[in-house]
Each structure stands twice: as C-alpha cells, then as structure tokens.
Structure 1
C-alpha cells in the first residue's frame, strides 16, 4: 500500500481550487449574477476559528460526490430534513458539521437559517447565516461568483489553532480605496479566544440575579478611548456626580440599571 503525503498549505490551495470554485457544472436554473453594485452598510465582524483540519479534511469537501452536490444544488435541498442521502451520510463526520457551520455563516445572511438532522441522534439542529455573501444559495443553485466568494470567506476564517479571533471582512474599491474605513472603536470581545466559549459576563442569567456581584446577562459596549489620567464621567441617566447638576448622563429605561466599567 502506498501512502501519499502533502503539506497542509498545498492541501488548502487544492481545496480553494476543487471545492466551491470549480463546481459550477451543467445544471439548469442557476441564479443570475448580480447585475451591478449597490450600497449596503452593516457590521461585518465575524470570528475565524475554523480549524485547518475541519477546513481541509472534512467528509464533505473530500468526497467527490458530496463535493459536487454542494456546488451544484441549493443548500436547503441538500440539508433540510430528510436531506440528500449522500450528504446526510457524510454529516456523521464532526469536521463536516463544523465546516458547514462556517459555510452557512459565510453564505447566508443574518436572520437566515438552515435546518439539518444530526445523524447520530436524529435531533434537528440549525445553522445560522451571518455575512450574507450568497443568501440565494439557500434555495437556488449557486453561481460561480458565489462559490468563489464563499471559498474566500472560508479560507479567511481558517485558524490553524482553532482560536476565535474577530475578523472584519472588507474589500477594496479600485476607484475609492478608502471607502471601507476601520471602526473608530473596537467593541469588546464576548468570547475567550483560547476556548471560543462565551465569557460568563455575557451569558444570559439562568435565574433572576441582582446586585453588583452579578456576572451574567451583561451587554457590552465601547465608547472610545482617553489619555491616562483624564477624568471620564459615565452615566445611565444620573447627574454628574461632581456637581449633581446639569444634563443627565446617558439614559436608562424599564428598571434600575447598573453600569460596570472595565
């Protein structure tokens, strides 16, 4: 028996060529390419904790039949229960499940979902869209441009260590290089990069929890930066504590609020 080995970078390049990009075959009813560019503004922050193992060696992209089905059929046709038999069989691989979690996040828009059945348990589960690079793929055959862009998104979200790192996916406009500006303030990360688990402070409280020691159910926000030693006053609807007069700082509604500064 011969065993052939190749480096992981080569495998990733092969994936970029063979998976998604080159799969648009002779199938009917392809969704049309977008005729022109429009404008759309929304958050494009997304994590990149897709492991190289799941990206390159999952049972979907490495199987010739499943690979072709992915590039030539709507996602709902392949995955919505009962699902396409070959795809359902390949989903027994945990790496394939992780791979699809990221593919759906790249392709479908925020608010779109794709239901699928977990082969080992028979339980119905849901993948959620995030970026909306190719939302029509849910119900239509993907175009070549769609496959290329989703491939790029998947490769950008690869992290060899499986750590969760926030990305901001943006392109360059040849006539206006500065059209996509960096955010002036980076919102706080709600996940531990090493474990990809949500920090306890941002997890919903299991039971009603009150007091300054509460460490659940917080909403994160960022307001800017300042020079060390500068006096900064924050508020949730109260007066300036230094004067007890003037305009209220911030606002609150519905219940008593607690403001925690980190």
Structure 2
C-alpha cells in the first residue's frame, strides 16, 4: 500500500508552493463541499520558517487561492457526514477526491489542520489507487464536525475563516499568528511572546464557504504605502481594490468587526465577529512578523518588488536596479 506523509504540528501548517499555488480557489471550493476551522501560527511565505505560538504549537499558511473556490466543500459529503472515518469512507467523498487527487489531498491537509485537534489523524485509503492519505490535526476549531457530526453554522464559519487565513496568493510559506476562538467560543490560547514576535497586526478573515457566501478579508492596519509590499497580500492589502480572488477584500477590520474583550472589559488582540451586509460572522485574526513586510530601499530585491527607476515596490531601483 502506498502512503503519503502525514501533516505536521497543530500551530504551524506548511504549504507546498508548487502544489498550493493553484489550490486557494480549489481549497475554498473544496471547503465548501466538505464543511470544515484554532489557535496557531501559520506559514505562507517563501521559506519553510515556522514560529512558536501558544503552547509551542505551529500553524502555517501557503494554501493557494485556487483552493478557496466555492465548488467543493459542499459536494464531497463531509459537511453532513463529518470528518470521521465514516465520513471519509462514503462514495461521495471518494468520487470528489478522485476528480483531482493532488488538489483534494492538499485541501484535506488544511481542512483537517483547521478542524481537528492536535494529536489526531484522519486517514483515507483511496480505493482507486490503493494510496493511504494521512492528515494531521492541528488547531481543533470544529470539535463536533471533527467527531463525525454535521458541520454547524458556527463550525462552517470558523473553518472558512481558517482556510482563508492560510491562503497565499503566491503559494509560499510565511509564519503567521492566528488568533480568535473556536466554534464553541473557546479562545485560541496565545502568549505574550507570540504577540511580541508577531507584532504586526495583519488582517481579519471571515465568511462561509459551505453555503456559497464566500470568504472575506480586511486590513487590521492601514493600507501599505507604495514603497512597501508583502507576500501576505491577500490579508494585508495595499489598496481597497486589492485583487486576490476568490478571497474578497472588504476594507478595514476596525470598521467591520467587534473587538473581543476579556471578563473585565479589556480589549483582546483579536476580533470576536465581523459584520458584512447585515450578517455577522465568526472571525479569525492574523498577525505577522515585521520582516514579512518588505520595503524598497532595504537592499534586498524581494519577489514582490520590480526593477525600475523609482522608489516604490513596483519600480524599486535601490533594490532591483534599473530595468534592462
């Protein structure tokens, strides 16, 4: 029997650039078909770096935006059958998986990492190829769905937010900190060290991939100025017209979301919910390290920068030189 390597830790989820770049739309689509979202640091940048977060657990992003499409999670049967062994053994899931096994495997890696607790594994033996696929849990954001129950609306929203937070337009690895609460409202644990390391507020993510609503992102800091850029452009946008389909940019978290507070009323470093079009959604908040924001003039020609004669990321002579 062939085997695929199991996924890694609970907090940092690594993505594979060559495979995931085209998966963001697919994953979101797959997520919609599966019905799948907790604490963690994610990786989405161009390296395999991971960061420590809440309890030393890791999470990373790198899911391509193709995996975020809305035509998959509702067709594979998992939204109603759950992420249990029984749910993975249905004919509907097998049919869905074999339509595009490589993409489906990547989608399931992220779905299981978001929904299932660390220390648990979900496996599927493809009856067509005989290959055993193993996916490790990490964040545990949807305990009921992970146990085999149908995904509740709350679980659908949290999983959708988790998948969106892990999407990377460029399909690269970048460490992120994911804050918020699971579908039951239990806060994702974090430490002061994590907040200090991931000191840049990035974005809030929300929506529902299961019911066709889609997924949305908003900046948790001002738009990046022309001389700055980031690989996390799906979250930290440079303008209100930022394109990262199917993830839709909708402005600023501060104008759409309600800040979470502790028992004493003190503000927490994440949002409890975001409202769009009169509908409130459970949301997850992401933070990044300062080095994930590149600046023209820092001496390094980043892949988000281009040659030219100016001082902006799109024309950065200081870092990339003049164009031939």
Shorter-normalised TM range: 0.3 to 0.5
Structure with greater strand share of residues: 2
